[in-house]
Amino acid sequence: MDLTYRPRRLRRSHALRSMVRENSLSPADFIYPLFVHEANDVQQIGAMPGSYRWPLEALIKEVERAWSLGIRCVVLFPKVDESLKTEDGAECFNEKGLIPRAIELLKKELPEMTIMTDVALDPYSIDGHDGIVSPEGIVLNDETIEFLCRQAIVQAQAGADLIGPSDMMDGRVGAIREALDDEGFEQVGIISYTAKYASAYYGPFREALDSAPRSISEKPIPKDKSTYQMDSANAREAIIEAQLDEQEGADILMVKPGLAYLDIIHRLREESELPIAAYNVSGEYSMVKAAAEKGWIDEKSVVLETLLSFKRAGSDLILTYHACDAAEWLKQE
Ligand code: PBG
């Protein structure tokens, strides 16, 4: 055939392919989510093989391991004792709570590691919602924000570097920015869960924290989070959320979940000059783990291909439970 263009010319060898490769993965792209609890044992999470609830001592070792693999940021999630859960989730700003203690310990042992936190009430709420639920069953916006600000301040006091509001209340980024600044934490950044969708992919995470919405009294409790998290049918709305978060002072914008929302990552990349993060959430992780356990897919190849897709779509950072495995695999390549 008389072809001028033969794209295969550049695919002929490993060396050529590596020369024209448009995107790459590095352990410094990863943010590693970790679950902590009060118990003394390391507990495997049923639906997330290879992910654990860590006691504080063991957490330090796991974070040291992540650091040695080149990972530079971890995000912490608490499994809170039932006895501490209340309707208003006030345990979220207890200075001696699990998360502030974990941050303090990590900052003492490994001061260089970037510590990101999650700001929302769900691990502390007896109703399992990210905000305070009114007697009529409404998730209250402005009342919740006051609590979120106090939660963010306590995390910053403990030494957090990046505050991650995941609650999807309106106006929380601006309120948290102001609260942090008022307390002298103008250096603490905000990585906002900007486009966070009401998603079934969070199921295994809610098992890990035992934090799913539930009804324990006469109070009507919304069964899902669709009055505050985004509708998965919407893309333009993500741009509105991104514009608001930028105006309100977010430093990094996040899209969550990741894989089913690559188009949203791409659109935010085109709309904003801020760094973009993708959250490769628990359900995405569990599906890969389950298929790999059955021998139906090759875990390493699927994970690296998936993580690369987030970079290609336009994200700079990837929150992923595969972080340590992926960092090890990248070292071998
Ligand atoms: C809490 C929160 C959730 C996740 C991160 N922060 C769950 C939810 O909103 O219900 C999900 C993370 C994952 O599934 O990996 N607001």
The H-or-E segment that residue 331 falls in is: helix 323-332
The CATH class given to the 23-332 domain equals alpha beta
| Alpha helices (H) in 37-171, listed in sequence order | 56-68, 98-109, 141-158
Domains of the chain by residue range: 23-332
pLDDT given for residue 214 in this prediction: 93
Q: What is the crossing angle of helices 98-109 and 56-68, to 10°?
A: 50
Q: Of 30, 76, 122, which is best to mutate to test ligand 1, by the most ligand atoms within 8 angstroms of its C-beta? A: 122
Ligand 1 atom nearest the C-alpha of 211 is: 10
Ligand 1 atom nearest the C-alpha of 229 is: 9
Give the CA radius of gyration of the chain. 20
pTM for this one?
Answer: 0.97
198 C-alpha vs ligand 1 centroid, how far in Å? 10
Measured distance CA(76)–CA(294) in Å, rounded: 30
pLDDT given for residue 140 in this prediction: 98
Please say whether the beta carbons of 272 and 195 come within 8 A: no
- Atom 11 of ligand 1 has which residue's CA nearest to it? 202
76 C-alpha vs ligand 1 centroid, how far in Å? 12
Q: Of 148, 166, 214, 227, which is best to mutate to test ligand 1, by the most ligand atoms within 8 angstroms of its C-beta? A: 166
Whether pLDDT at 313 is above 90: yes
> pLDDT (tens digit, 9 = 90+) per residue, 198-245?
999 999 999 999 899 999 888 999 999 999 999 999 999 999 999 999
> pLDDT (tens digit, 9 = 90+) per residue, 59-78?
999 999 999 999 999 999 99
